Chains A and B, each alone.
Chain A
Amino acid sequence: MGYLAKFRVWRGDNEGGGLQDYAVEVNEGEVVLDIVHRLQATQTPDLAVRWNCKAGKCGSCSAEVNGRPRLMCMTRMSTFTEDEVITVTPMRTFPVIRDLVTDVSYNYEKARMVPSFAPPADLEPGDYRMAQIDVERSQEFRKCIECFLCNNTCHAVRDHEENKTSFSGPRFLMRIAELDMHPLDTVDRRQVAVEEHGIGYCNITKCCTDVCPEHIAITDNAIIPLKERVADKKYDPLFSIASLFRRNKDDRTAPPAAKV
Chain B
Amino acid sequence: MSEIERHTYDVVVIGAGGAGLRAAIEARSNGKRTAIVCKSLFGKAHTVMAEGGIAAAMGNVNPHDNWQVHFRDTMRGGKFLNSWRMAELHAKEAPQRVWELETYGALFDRTPEGKISQRNFGGHEYPRLAHVGDRTGLELIRTLQQKIVSLQQEDFRNTGDYESYIKVFAECTITRLLTDDSGAIAGAFGYFRETGDFVTFEAPAVVLATGGIGKSFKVTSNSWEYTGDGHALAMRAGGTTLNMEFIQFHPTGMVWPPSVKGILVTESVRGDGGVLTNSEGTRFMFNYIPDVFKDKYATTPEEADRWYADPDNNRRPPELLPRDEVARAINSEVKAGRGTPNGGVYLDVSKRLPADVIRKKLPSMWHQFKELADVDITAQAMEVGPTCHYVMGGVEVDPDSGSAKVPGLFAAGEVSGGMHGSNRLGGNSLSDLLVFGRRAGLGASEYVDAMGDRRPKVTESMLVDAEAEALVPFTTDGGENPYSIHAELQQTMNDLVGIIRTESEMVDALEKLAAFRERVTRVSVVGGRAFNPGWHLALDLKNIIMVSECVAKSALERQESRGGHTRDDFPTLDPNWRKVNVVCRIDGDSVAIKQQPIIAMRPDLLGLFDVEELKKYLTAPELPNAELPNAELPNADLGKGDL
Does A pair with B?
yes
Task: Knowing that A46-B535, A48-B532, A112-B152 touch, tell me 5 more A-B residue pairs with CB under 8 angstroms.
Answer: A30-B257, A126-B96, A128-B103, A132-B112, A146-B43
Are the C-beta atoms of B105 and A117 separated by less than 8 Å?
Answer: yes
Instruction: Check B103–A97 contact: CB distance below 8 A.
Output: no
Whether B533 lies near A182 (C-beta < 8 A) is no
Stretch at the interface among A98-106, A201-209, A242-250: A98-106
The CA of A30 and the CA of B483, in the complex, are separated in Å by: 19
Mark A31-50 against chain B: 1 for CB-CB distance below 8 A, else 0: 10010000011100111111
Q: What's the nearest-Cβ distance from chain B to residue A141, in Å?
A: 10
Question: Considering the chains assembled together, what is the distance between the CA atoms of A64 and B410 in angstroms?
Answer: 41
Taking a contact as CB atoms closer than 8 A, the residue among B142, B149, B533 that contacts A112 in the complex is B149
Which of A52-60, A80-88, A192-200 is near enough to bind chain B?
Answer: A52-60
Contact B41 A29 (CB under 8 A): no
Question: A17 near B: Cβ within 8 Å?
Answer: no
- In the complex, whether B110 has a CB less than 8 A from a CB of chain A is yes
A57 touches B49 (CB 8 A): yes
Contact residue among B114, B142, B258, B374 (Cβ-Cβ distance under 8 Å from A27): B258
B113 touches A97 (CB 8 A): no
B332 at the interface (CB under 8 A from A): no
CB A94 to nearest CB in B, in angstroms, measures 12
Contact (Cβ within 8 A) B534 A46: yes
Chain B residues with CB under 8 Å of A241's CB are none
Kindly state whether residue B530 has any CB partner on chain A within 8 Å: yes
Contact: A143 with B110, CB < 8 Å? no
The answer to whether B294 has its CB under 8 Å from any CB of chain A is no
* Residues 65-117 of A at the B interface (beta carbon under 8 Å): 74, 76, 78, 97-99, 101, 104, 108, 111-112, 115-117
| Residue B180 CB within 8 A of the other chain | no
| Complex contact B41–A104 (CB within 8 A) | yes
Knowing A117-B146, A138-B107, say if A58 contacts B483 (CB, 8 Å): no
Evaluate contact between B114 and A31: CB separation under 8 angstroms.
Answer: no
Q: With A116-B150, A116-B153 in contact, do A142 and B107 touch (Cβ < 8 Å)?
A: yes
Contacts of B138 in A (CB 8 A): 57, 142-143, 145
Name the residue in B46, B108, B152, B259 with the highest tally of chain A Cβ atoms < 10 Å from its Cβ: B259
Closest 8 CB pairs of A and B: A29-B257, A46-B527, A45-B534, A117-B105, A116-B150, A129-B114, A48-B531, A125-B99
* Chain A-chain B contacts (Cβ-Cβ < 8 Å), number: 177
Whether, in the assembled complex, A135 has its beta carbon less than 8 Å from a beta carbon of chain B, the answer is yes
Q: Which residues of B contact A34 (CB under 8 A)?
A: 259
| Chain A positions within 8 Å of B102 at CB level | 125, 128
Residue of B nearest to A52 (CB): B223
Question: Which of A55, A97, A112, A259 meets B260, CB within 8 Å?
Answer: A55
* B525 at interface by CB-CB < 8 Å: yes
A41–B484 CA distance with the chains assembled, in angstroms: 8
Q: Is there an interface contact between B110 and A131, defined as CB atoms closer than 8 Å? A: yes
Q: Are B372 and A97 in contact (CB under 8 A)?
A: no
- Give the distance to chain A from B431, nearest Cβ to Cβ, in Å: 15
Residue A256, interface by CB 8 Å = no
Q: Which of A41, A48, A108, A143 has a CB less than 8 Å from the CB of B135?
A: A143
**A116 and B149 within 8 A (CB):** yes
A-chain residues with CB within 8 Å of residue B40 when the two chains form the complex:
50, 52, 58, 60
Q: Please report B residues at the A interface, Cβ cutoff 8 Å.
A: 40-44, 46, 48-49, 95-96, 99-100, 102-105, 107-110, 112-115, 117, 132-133, 135, 138-139, 142, 146, 149-150, 152-153, 162, 194, 223-225, 256-260, 263-264, 360, 363-364, 367-368, 371-374, 481-484, 487, 525-528, 530-535
Q: Is A210 an interface residue (CB 8 A)?
A: no
- The answer to whether the Cβ of A10 comes within 8 Å of any Cβ in the partner chain is no
Residues of B within 8 A of A108 (CB): 42
| Chain A residues, Cβ within 8 Å of B100 | 125
Q: CB-defined interface of A130-163 with B at 8 Å, one 1/0 digit per residue?
A: 1110010011001111100000000000000000
Q: Is the CB of A46 within 8 A of B105?
A: no
List of B residues within 8 angstroms of A58 by Cβ: 40, 44, 48-49, 223
Distance between A111 CB and nearest chain B CB, rounded to angstroms: 6
CA distance A98 to B529 in the complex (A): 11
B139: chain A residues at CB < 8 Å are 142
**Is A51 part of the contact surface with B, judged by Cβ < 8 Å?**
yes
- Closest B residue to A116 by beta carbon equals B150
Give chain B residues whose Cβ lies under 8 Å from the Cβ of A18.
Answer: none
* Shortest CB distance A238–B (Å): 30
Instruction: Give the residue of B43, B368, B374, B532 whose beta carbon is less than 8 angstroms from that of A46.
Output: B532
Which residues of A sit under 8 angstroms from B374, Cβ to Cβ?
29, 76, 78
Q: State whether A182 touches B534 (Cβ < 8 A).
A: no
Contacting residues, chain B, for A101 (C-beta < 8 A): 194, 531
What is the chain B residue whose CB lies nearest that of A130?
Answer: B114
Bound form: Cα–Cα A45–B483 in Å: 8
Chain B residues near A115 (CB, 8 Å)?
Answer: 153
Known contacts A45-B527, A46-B526, A29 near B259 by CB under 8 Å: yes
Q: A122 — which chain B residues lie within 8 A by C-beta?
A: none
B110 near A56: Cβ-Cβ < 8 Å: no
The answer to whether A29 and B373 touch across the interface, beta carbons within 8 angstroms, is yes
Q: Which residues of A contact B105 (CB under 8 A)?
A: 116-117, 179, 182, 185
User: Given A52-B223, A54-B260, A78-B374, is A59 in contact with B44 using a C-beta cutoff of 8 Å?
Assistant: yes
Residues of B within 8 A of A129 (CB): 113-115
Query: Are B533 and A31 in touch, CB under 8 angstroms?
Result: no
Q: A116-B146, A117-B105 in contact; A135/B110 too (CB < 8 A)?
A: yes
Q: Are A40 and B483 in contact (CB under 8 A)?
A: yes
Question: Chain B residues with Cβ under 8 A from A251's Cβ?
Answer: none
The residue among A57, A101, A112, A123 with the most chain B CB atoms within 10 A of its own CB is: A57
In the assembled complex, the Cα of A143 lies from the Cα of B368 at a distance in Å of 15
